[in-house]
């Protein structure tokens, strides 16, 4: 089984269970934005860390970003509140297990600067994952 896919499945499932009534746009899945607040995800696999003992052991370093997308012209408090809930959901020292893959969060997720797009206020929450591969 792929450690990358295990990590993706684990964090996306955790997010969707925490926000069951919020629309979530996943990578390469058809999505029609709603008028309400919605979440959009991005999954970036970075260079692995290869400082472990043994030929088959290494760590995948993955950035999981959740974009909180809210309506314009209603302030930032609602979007910031949701972003902080996401940060709390993926708290530092959290370990998730998917199949035989362990996914660790070793840093506090970053709630980044709000940005205005054509029709949305977007606040990224950047979550760094460390995935053990044996």
- Each residue's pLDDT, cut to its tens digit, for the chain (134 residues) gives 699 999 999 999 999 999 999 999 999 999 999 899 999 999 999 999 887 666 778 899 999 999 999 999 999 999 999 999 999 999 999 999 999 999 999 999 999 999 999 999 999 999 999 999 88
Of 20, 21, 107, 37, give the one whose Cα is nearest residue 71: 37
What pTM, to 2 d.p., does this model score?
0.94
Of 70, 79, 132, 83, give the one whose Cα is nearest residue 109: 83
Domains of the chain and CATH, by start: 3-133 (3.30.2000.20)
């Amino acid at each position: 089984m792929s450690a990358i896919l295990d990590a993706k499945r684990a964090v996306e499932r955790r997010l969707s269970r925490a926000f069951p009534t919020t629309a979530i746009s996943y990578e390469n899945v058809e999505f029609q934005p709603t008028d309400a607040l919605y979440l959009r995800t991005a999954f970036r696999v970075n260079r692995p860390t290869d400082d472990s003992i043994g030929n088959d052991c290494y760590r995948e370093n993955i950035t999981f970003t959740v974009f909180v997308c809210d309506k314009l012209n209603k302030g930032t408090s609602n979007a910031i509140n949701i972003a902080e809930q996401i940060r709390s959901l993926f708290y530092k020292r959290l370990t998730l297990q998917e199949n035989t893959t362990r996914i660790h969060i070793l840093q506090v997720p970053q709630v980044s600067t709000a940005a205005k797009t054509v029709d949305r206020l977007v606040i990224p929450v950047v979550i760094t994952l460390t995935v053990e591969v044996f």
